[in-house]
Structure 1
Amino acid sequence: MAKTLIELRDICKKYDDNVVLDHFNLTVEENEFITLLGPSGCGKTTLLRIVGGFEKPDSGQVFFEGKDITALPPNKRQINTVFQKYALFPHMNVGQNIAFGLKISGKSDSYIREKVKYGLKLVNLEGFENRKIDQMSGGQQQRVAIARAVVNEPKLLLLDEPLGALDLKLREDMQYELIRLKEELGITFLYVTHDQEEALTMSNRIIVLNNGDIQQIGTPEEIYNEPQNAFVADFIGDSNIIDACMVRDKLVRICGTEFPCVDTGFGENQPVDVVIRPEDILIGEPGKGKLDGVVTHNVFIGVHYEMEIEAGGFTWLAQNTTSYEVGTHVSIDVIPFNIQIMHKPVKPEQEALDLEAE
């Protein structure tokens, strides 16, 4: 049975009049790779800093292995942090940077030598211990920062957009390196990013945030395939988000045409939002699908063609390995399983009326 490592209870934090976190609750289990994903300003970095002890919540508690650590300073927590700006010491070489935390902790010279050697091997930088920091590439510096963190044997490693300064190829390489390290070390990772690809690639669970509130928690597959609201659907990957009407269980009307679906429990003739991923749109000859339309835009993006199709009064985004030239008349269809039905968001005034009615 998984053991709870971190628990955040009712965390509130605001700066001046800006509420960043409002009664936030979260549980993180041992050996998880949890990603906090959301746009800039959604509260994810503030949350990470509260867990690390760099910020204090206005109210609420942080528990580590069942003990309240809310008032503990960062150096008293079994937690290390890797920042986007790696915070390496330029006047120290690689080995000295990795050894810094161990020296502060009063470890013996022999212990430090062994740990530095171990850290360098772990991040594939053996033989670099005497290299100056300014002689290292961005990816190598990031590896040094990770080695410096892991040699302290933290139970929890916090990573605040650590790949943001790297180019695309390096970012992709480091994603797999982080997965390898997590599996090899058995450390719990709490990772902050606004990059959906990073989150989907590396995480056991993703927590999607917006304006300090959790929009959805789930596995990468759940977040991508079953978004719970339009924000998640729009933020995670490309989506067609369409106003529709749930005719009855397993039947939805989209752009005036009825489509079979697999969802139930939305009532009859109820307004809903529908999410359909571009790769789930089936393109065929006119008259062979549910809606007929015309291709208005087409661009090749490496592994497939991305097209816009005007059909039923809506501009559909479609992805296909077959190219259809602009101006081509086509039909579109979607298999029932790939139609995701969501409740319309409740407007604040309606929410207030519902509360009064209760």
Structure 2
Amino acid sequence: MEHTILKLEHISKSFDDKMILKDLNLEIGRNEFITLLGPSGCGKTTTLRIIGGFEVPDQGSVIFEGKDITKVSPDKRHINTVFQKYSLFSHMTVADNIAFGLKLKKKDRHYIEEKIRYALKLVDLEGYEGRRPVSLSGGQQQRVAIARAIVNEPEILLLDEPLGALDLKLRQDMQRELIKIKNELGITFVYVTHDQEEALTMSDRIVVMNQGLIQQMGTPVDIYNEPQNAFVADFIGDSNIIDGVMPKDCLVEILERPFICVDTGFGTNENVDVVIRPEDVVIREQGKGILDGQVLSVLFKGVHYEMKIRAGGFDWMVHSTLPAQPGACVGLYVEPENIQIMHKPASEAEEVVKKDE
């Protein structure tokens, strides 16, 4: 990767004989907003702690700007961390919390005061210098934690589920705030979350993890539109995942019905996983789709209706702005380019990864 700032090379880590990371390799670009995304226990927080120096890998190296920092202590790295629990000092003012790291570095008073003013302006907390954390909202406390991290001028800022304790609207506001801060400071953000929407909204690149392995890396658009396996498709948004067979290129049999697709390069009559997003299933009149089915349920979700439709012995999830009535018989159609074909797992280990959660 051009302008790489950090590399993880063949990182493995276990706790109590349980393997958490398995030969993980990752490059992170300068000024990139990269998100580690996956279910609980997938290894994303352990990866973050290894980058920050809070854990040492059993094997592998952490390379920062060409130098091996695997065994360098956290305070000696140009890396700062914002945790979900903000760990602010309750007996200190906002200004003293922000200045804590600078005072440890024995910076002079004028320098510290300038940095505090700059940081408070950046996180939109001017005038809060004398307040104590207990008098602040959750979002304000989170901004103080970010300000405390950025005054140390880190090359990389690590964020471990920092928005998890906030309500929906405040979380969305802080997402925009973090993107603004990242762009203004020009530093690298490494962000950990299990929230798919958060990852899709904020990231330049997403790393989807499961059981200590990287399942896929790419832009949010690539991850959503071109998942590389069934786990990624199912974890990133809702999906209909169905067993299929490829008789030949550009044709897949799903539920014993032929569907035209655009995929090539599969073996003759190869068993495959077929992924179709709910918003890509089109409801037609009965007899005018590829499959006929019956509407089982309809839920209003605000921007669309979520329907469950049984067709071909499979319960399809369908998202549409126009609802069908429960009990109605309808046809289902999918455009060829909206059918994603994936190879079946080649081993039992891959099958376990696919089926996890």
TM-score between both structures, scaled by the size of structure 2: 0.97
Give the secondary structure class of the aligned counterpart of 2:20. strand
User: What's the RMSD between the two structures over aligned residues?
Assistant: 1.3
Report matched runs for 1:25-104 at 5 Å: 25-104=25-104
Seen in structure 2, the aligned counterparts of structure 1 residues 265 and 220 have a Cα distance that, compared at 3 Å, is same
Give the secondary structure class of the aligned counterpart of 1:139. helix
Distance 2:137 2:32 in 1: 29
Distance 1:144 1:115 in 2: 13
Give the secondary structure class of the aligned counterpart of 1:154. coil
Distance 2:2 2:189 in 1: 15
Distance 1:128 1:205 in 2: 34
Give the secondary structure class of the aligned counterpart of 1:287. coil
1:195 match: 195
Aligned-pair identity (%): 66
1:229 match: 229
Give the secondary structure class of the aligned counterpart of 1:274. strand
Give the secondary structure class of the aligned counterpart of 1:107. coil
Distance 1:344 1:133 in 2: 52
2:354 match: none
Give the secondary structure class of the aligned counterpart of 1:124. coil
The superposition leaves residues 182-230 of structure 1 with CA deviations (integer Å, 9 ceiling, x where unpaired) of: 1111010000000001100001110010110010111101111111111
Alignment partner of 1:253 is 2:253: yes
Shift of 1:59: 1.5
Distance 1:338 1:240 in 2: 12
Letter in 1 for 2:133: I
Give the secondary structure class of the aligned counterpart of 1:89. coil
Give the secondary structure class of the aligned counterpart of 1:342. strand
2:288 match: 288
Distance 1:164 1:350 in 2: 30
1:275 match: 275
Distance 2:293 2:350 in 1: 37
Distance 1:241 1:157 in 2: 37
1:9 match: 9
1:241 match: 241
Distance 1:115 1:255 in 2: 63
1:110 match: 110
Distance 1:12 1:269 in 2: 38
Alignment length (residue pairs) = 351
Letter in 1 for 2:272: V
Shift of 1:66: 0.3
1:133 match: 133
- Displacement over 6 Å in runs of 4+: none
Give the secondary structure class of the aligned counterpart of 2:131. coil
Give the secondary structure class of the aligned counterpart of 2:24. strand
Letter in 1 for 2:87: A
Letter in 1 for 2:76: K
Letter in 1 for 2:230: A
Give the secondary structure class of the aligned counterpart of 2:95. helix
Distance 2:251 2:13 in 1: 44
Distance 1:120 1:329 in 2: 59
Shift of 1:349: 8.9
Distance 1:269 1:71 in 2: 51
Give the secondary structure class of the aligned counterpart of 1:148. helix
1:263 match: 263
Report matched runs for 1:328-343 at 5 Å: 328-343=328-343
Distance 1:3 1:141 in 2: 33
The superposition leaves residues 26-81 of structure 1 with CA deviations (integer Å, 9 ceiling, x where unpaired) of: 11010111100001011110110010001111121101000001111001000000
Distance 1:15 1:23 in 2: 15
The superposition leaves residues 282-337 of structure 1 with CA deviations (integer Å, 9 ceiling, x where unpaired) of: 00101111111110010001111000001111110000000111001110000011
Shift of 1:2: 3.2
1:356 match: none
Shift of 1:350: 11
Give the secondary structure class of the aligned counterpart of 2:115. helix
Shift of 1:347: 2.8
Give the secondary structure class of the aligned counterpart of 2:91. coil
Distance 1:43 1:221 in 2: 23
Distance 1:316 1:323 in 2: 14
1:347 match: 347
Give the secondary structure class of the aligned counterpart of 1:49. helix
The superposition leaves residues 101-138 of structure 1 with CA deviations (integer Å, 9 ceiling, x where unpaired) of: 11111111000000000000000000000011100000
Distance 1:131 1:115 in 2: 17
Letter in 2 for 1:9: E
Give the secondary structure class of the aligned counterpart of 1:121. helix
Shift of 1:348: 3.2
